[in-house]
Amino acid sequence: MKRRDVLRTLVFFGVGSLINPAHIWMSCSPKVDRDIMDEGQIVLLGEIAETILPRHKGLPGAKDARVAQFIDQHITDCYTGQERLDLIQCIITIDETAKARFKKSFVRLGAKQRFELLQAFDRAAKANKDKENIAYTNYSKLRSLIVFGFFTSEPGMKKCLRYAAIPGKYSGQIAYKKGDKIWEFN
């Protein structure tokens, strides 16, 4: 074998190994629309989340945990098109209800008015009075996503729960005093 053939073979295999098969595979996959919610809807969602899980006595709130951005990413990656639209419609309906009831956007409401409005949505969702209204039926899902996003975030897990990284010893009985944080094992 000639030196030129050896060099050509080495270059061929070297360049071939640089082309990652994952890049080729990803170029064949369909484009995903990353802009499901616009910036205004993300801000609105952040305010809704902060009303549900506010900062309290030095503990982080939903904004600190970037729950709105998490939900935007989560519904982009995990929800079908109709589920996304239903959840976004729920967020829009909360703002429209605030405008109709208080003549202000939800973002401009005071803490008491926000709480009152979300409490009305919560009662309606629990009573399930209006099964035709998507906003009320999806409010429970939205609230669950907010809580899920918060407690799976680093600030929510490490500052609001007792955090014990695994591996660790197994303890079947853990002492608990009233007012203690709940345990989170990762």
Point out the residues of the chain with pLDDT beneath 50.
none
Please state the domain extents for the chain. Answer: 39-160
Torsion of CA 57, 60, 61, 66, to 10 degrees: 170
Amino acid 26: pLDDT: 58
Dihedral (CA of 130, 100, 139, 180) sign: negative
Amino acid 75: pLDDT: 92
Amino acid 6: pLDDT: 75
Contact 155, 70 (CB under 8 A): no
Amino acid 22: pLDDT: 56
Amino acid 97: pLDDT: 93
| Prediction pTM value | 0.71
Amino acid 137: pLDDT: 76
Amino acid 20: pLDDT: 61
Amino acid 159: pLDDT: 85
Dihedral (CA of 94, 97, 102, 103) sign: positive
Percent residues over pLDDT 70 in the chain: 75
